[in-house]
Amino acid sequence: MRFGRTPEQHAFSEALDDLLTAADVVSASRAWSAGDHSPGLKLWQRLAELGVTGLLVPEDQDGLGASPVDLAVAFERLGYHGVPGPWIESVAVAPALLAGTSDSDILQRLASGEALVSVAHASRALDADVAERTYALNDRVGLTAPDSAGPPPSGSGGSTSASPALVEPGERQRAGVETNTAPSAILRHAVVGAQRRSVDPTRRLFDVTPGEEVAGGDAGPALDLGTLACSAMLHGAGLRLLDDSVAYVKQRTQFGRPIGEFQAVKHLLADVRVALDFAAPLVHNAAVELETEAPTAARSVSAAKVAAGDAAYLASRTALQVHGAIGYTREFDLSLWILKVRALVGAWGTPTEHRARILESLVEAR
Amino acid sequence: MSTLEFTEREETFRLEARDWLAANNPGRLPSMDTAEGAAAHREWERTLASGRWSVVAWPEAYGGRDASLTEWVIFEEEYYLAGAPTRISQNGISLLAPIIFGHGTEAQKERYLRDMTDGTLVWAQAWSEPEAGSDLASLRATATRVDGGWRLNGQKTWSSRAPFADRGFGLFRSDPAAERHRGLTYFLFDLSADGVAVRPIDQLDGTPGFAEIFFDDVFVSDDDVLGGVGDGWKVAMSTAGNERGLSLRSPGRFCAAAERLVELYREEGLDKLDHRGSKVVDAWIGAEAYRLYTWGTVTHVEAGGSVGAEGSINKLWWSDLDLSLHETALDLLGADAELEGPWLDDYLFSLSGPIYAGTNQIQRNIVAERVLELPRGSQKGGAQ
Ligand SMILES: Cc1cc2nc3c(=O)[nH]c(=O)nc-3n(C[C@H](O)[C@H](O)[C@H](O)COP(=O)(O)OP(=O)(O)OC[C@H]3O[C@@H](n4cnc5c(N)ncnc54)[C@H](O)[C@@H]3O)c2cc1C
């Protein structure tokens, strides 16, 4: 029995850390927010050289053919350093979504970091202005809002080919239970419309209108990989918020002593540590289950998303509290993570949607 | 679960445990904190020992199976999933035995270990005193040197199992002149010895789950000093970690309780995600996180690592999880929640989780100071 990262995965994580610590990620983020993509794209290129962009691209298309666990390792670090850009869409979702479609021609250039891709799924497309191609899925596959027994959103028919068959929510309700269902949601090219403002200024969101059809098939695994990456990113952001908070409370003094000596402050931070420590194995497990295609994989992905989101959110609220007013400013870099966490908690399935998916699986599994 | 791959040997072990439990498990017994329940629990310990399932991780010479840490956790998972009774021997097996193995003399191992594996000797932990709870090192009960041994005086309290136990273990101040942590010695004693008086105290559930113990010139021979004279604190702290970490709260209990909670939710005819459904899911996620975290810990320990102050992280998690899981169950039961029954019993017990084994405030201090390395300042964290 062995549960945890391999030495290679630890080394990969450290290599990413070294690169990102040396790079000025904060400036790149701030530039990205203002619409200047060049520092962010330079960073994208450097991470591509370390293999991040090709993680899930098959080896015969110049990718690494790596595992979801490697993906989670990388996204935790991207979250920790607050790297801007459509990472989840391009690196976690696109390879699985586009494999075997007429659009798979882009995968090689995705792997090398030359191309960026965005995917809108029942929401808006992130960073469509830098993406070479933007796609739309007409449904957030497999996730149902509570009490939404109604028909799935528009979209019907589709091919019966292996990928990507988009299954309507009702039919994928029983996560972990095999479903041989007809596809009902469709992958399309998207026509990009107006830009909207996100709570996280580095997330540049665009309305999309579905265009020409690309494929039908099961998009569930691709979206679960996106959700996994988002969970890992949240966990990484939470770790960063905690580290910055610990450093701050050791150095900030009030009443003649560091505020980290006050028990009220200590206890808040101890609770963050506990929450993050128990989210980590859920994220790792979800990655392992996606890799081994375990029947419970979808449910485990949802558990990871809920726990990582809750832990990161607690980390952000606590970070803000222990920093006091300085934390409430945009000027101070902490705001980058506070705002990113708020955005990611709702992205790739809200906590309620993921809890509903878990509950359905638990109740129907017996 | 497919995520954790077990060796063939481990799988065989799991199946053997499962089969044995299926054939022998008596299910829920009357509360061990009643005379009738204590007797039934001792009987169950005897049965467990006869199948050599009482202390699987111990050496074979002492009735164990030399099982690995992984196998021990596997056993615990099976044990609780089978719905087998809680263990009346827990204090001895989980808290005292590791110390005897680590610090005891050969004679102490011979005298005590085997008898705690089959319910012959049930032990009570006598650490807390009326004035010394969170600040355990301020304890006042004394041990005075006499010919061939020591005389114990003073009072202990909140001693679980003491009303029906045979022996106790605890700390006494053997050198009043020494610094508070230094002058303590760890003693083993007989609860029926001359000068010992045990006064049971009813807990919230109405059973005498713990007791006060009064010592009036109780003689203890040198043979019953555990570890060196004056080394009591050091020795005791090695069990405190056990108590908060793996040994007392194996994930199996919470996974099994979470499964039962999902079952209850289904039985109540609920399937939509309302706020109660969310809480059921969160309890399930919490138990799942605890299970996976434990396997991470086992991996770390089997690779030669150790669990230090992280035991406090563990304790905060399981105690909060246990409480919210049972609060959720009562919420599902609605007006019937006030009626006597297994959910209510387990709920009442879960209320004590944030208090015993070191309160959760003390655990948060430990996490902040030893894990996050925040400054200690003037407010002492306390180590219990
Ligand atoms: C069910 C149960 C079983 C038990 N079994 C045993 C047993 O078998 N053997 C045994 O020896 N003991 C046992 N105990 C006792 C237990 O270990 C103590 O209750 C615990 O250590 C707290 O001590 P106290 O009750 O004296 O509370 P106090 O120490 O008086 O604390 C009261 C409150 O003040 C808080 N507090 C105290 N100091 C600090 C600080 N520095 N910072 C922040 N907050 C602080 C505490 O967290 C708590 O909330 C048991 C308790 C329970 C509830």
The full 3-state SS of B289-342, as one line of letters, equals HHHHHHHHHHHHHHCCCCCCCHHHHHHHHHHHHHHHHHHHHHHHHHHHHHCCCH
CA dihedral A42, A48, A54, A59 (to 10 degrees): 130
Distance B261 CA to ligand 1 centre (A): 29
Query: Which of B88, B155, B158, B237 for mutating ligand 1's site (highest number of atoms within 8 Å of CB)?
Result: B158
B382: left (phi over 0), alpha (psi -120 to 50) or beta: left
CA separation for the pair A274, A260 (Å, rounded)? 17
The verdict on the CB of residue B337 being under 6 Å from ligand 1 is: no
CA angle (B34 as vertex; B29, B40 as ends), nearest 5: 40
Q: Which residue of B has its CA nearest to A274?
A: B313
Q: Which amino acid, residue A205?
A: L
3-state DSSP assignment of residue A175: coil
- How does pLDDT run across B201-244, given as a tens digit for each residue? 999 989 999 999 999 999 999 999 999 999 999 998 876 666 56
Q: Please provide the DSSP assignment of B62-116 as one string.
A: GT-----HHHHHHHHHHHHHTTPPPPTTHIIIIIIHHHHHHH--HHHIIIIIHHH
Q: Where are the beta strands (DSSP E) in A175-314?
A: 183-185, 187-197, 204-215, 253-254, 257-258
Q: Where are the beta strands (DSSP E) in A28-165?
A: 117-121, 125-126, 133-137
Q: B160: which DSSP letter?
A: E
Distance from CA of B356 to the nearest CA of A (A): 18
Q: Which residues of B3-12 are buried (b: 16+ CB within 10 A; e: fewer)?
A: bbebeeebee
The answer to whether A140 and A121 are in contact (CB under 8 A) is yes
- A87: enclosing H helix or E strand: helix A87-87
Chain B residues with CB under 8 Å of A244 CB are none
Band of the pLDDT at A164, cuts 50, 70, 90? very low
The answer to whether B9 and B70 are in contact (CB under 8 A) is no
Q: Which of A299, A272, A1 is nearest to B317 (CA)?
A: A272
**pLDDT above 90 coverage of chain A, percent:** 82
Burial of B98 (0-12, 13-18, 19+ CB in 10 A): middle
CA separation for the pair B54, A74 (Å, rounded)? 44
The answer to whether A127 and A120 are in contact (CB under 8 A) is no
Q: Which amino acid, residue B207?
A: T
CA separation for the pair B365, B375 (Å, rounded)? 10
- Pick the residue of B367, B370, B379 with the most A CBs within 10 A to test the interface with A by mutation: B367
The answer to whether A3 and B299 are in contact (CB under 8 A) is yes
* B262 and chain A in contact, CB less than 8 A: yes
Q: Which atom of ligand 1 is nearest to the CA of B162?
A: 8
Looking at every residue in chain A, the average pLDDT score rounds to 88
Provide the CB-side half-sphere exposure for B324 (13 A, CA). 18
For residue A210, cis peptide bond before it (omega within 30 degrees of 0): no
Q: Which domains does chain B have, with CATH numbers?
A: 8-87 (1.10.540.10), 123-231 (2.40.110.10), 245-371 (1.20.140.10)
Contacts of residue A209, Cβ cutoff 8 Å, sequence gap at least 6? A136, A190, A191, A193
Q: pTM for this one?
A: 0.88
CA angle (A118 as vertex; A137, A51 as ends), nearest 5: 125
B243 catalytic per annotation: yes
Q: Which atom of ligand 1 is nearest to the CA of B160?
A: 8
Which 2-31 residues of chain A touch chain B by CB within 8 A? Answer: 2-4
Listed as own residue / partner, the contacts of B46-54 with beta carbons closer than 8 Å and 24 or more positions apart are B46/B118, B46/B119, B48/B118, B49/B117, B49/B118, B49/B119, B50/B118, B51/B20, B51/B24, B53/B17, B53/B20, B53/B21, B54/B89, B54/B93, B54/B117, B54/B118
Distance B197 CA to ligand 1 centre (A): 22
The verdict on the CB of residue B159 being under 6 Å from ligand 1 is: yes
Strands B184-190 and B225-226, by their bridges, are antiparallel
pLDDT digits (tens), chain B, 384 positions: 335 789 999 999 999 999 999 999 999 899 999 999 999 999 999 999 999 999 999 999 999 999 999 999 999 999 999 999 999 999 999 999 999 999 999 999 999 999 999 999 999 999 999 999 999 999 999 999 999 999 999 999 999 999 999 999 999 999 999 988 899 999 999 999 999 999 999 999 899 999 999 999 999 999 999 999 999 999 988 766 665 666 557 889 999 999 999 999 998 887 778 889 999 999 999 999 999 999 999 998 888 888 888 889 999 999 999 999 999 999 999 888 998 899 999 999 999 999 998 999 999 999 999 999 999 976 444 443
CA separation for the pair B284, B272 (Å, rounded)? 16
Cβ contact (<8 Å) for B378 and A3? no
Burial of B140 (0-12, 13-18, 19+ CB in 10 A): middle
- Check residue A139 and give its pLDDT: 63
- Check residue A140 and give its pLDDT: 57
- Check residue B246 and give its pLDDT: 61
Q: Which of B171, B243, B163 is nearest to B210 (CA)?
A: B163
- How far CA A215 is from CA of A68, A119, A164, A189, in Å, comes to 23, 14, 7, 10
* A303 and chain B in contact, CB less than 8 A: yes
The answer to whether A26 and A20 are in contact (CB under 8 A) is no
Cβ contact (<8 Å) for B3 and A289? yes
Q: Which of B129, B212, B243, B369 is catalytic?
A: B243
Cβ contact (<8 Å) for B364 and A292? no
CA separation for the pair B159, B126 (Å, rounded)? 5
Band of the pLDDT at A364, cuts 50, 70, 90? confident
Distance B122 CA to ligand 1 centre (A): 23
Instruction: Report, as an integer, the average pLDDT of A23-49.
Output: 98
Q: Please provide the DSSP assignment of B181-206 as one string.
A: TTSEEEEEEETTSTTEEEEEE--TTS
The answer to whether A328 and B43 are in contact (CB under 8 A) is no
Distance from CA of A7 to the nearest CA of B (A): 12
Q: Please provide the DSSP assignment of A47-84 as one string.
A: HHHTTGGGTTS-GGGTS----HHHHHHHHHHHHHHT--
- CATH architecture assigned to A222-365: Up-down Bundle (1.20)
- Check residue A215 and give its pLDDT: 84
The verdict on the CB of residue B158 being under 6 Å from ligand 1 is: yes
Distance A278 CA to ligand 1 centre (A): 25
* B375 and chain A in contact, CB less than 8 A: yes
Q: Which atom of ligand 1 is nearest to the CA of B381?
A: 41
Band of the pLDDT at A180, cuts 50, 70, 90? very low
Strands B142-146 and A166-167, by their bridges, are unpaired
ipTM: 0.83
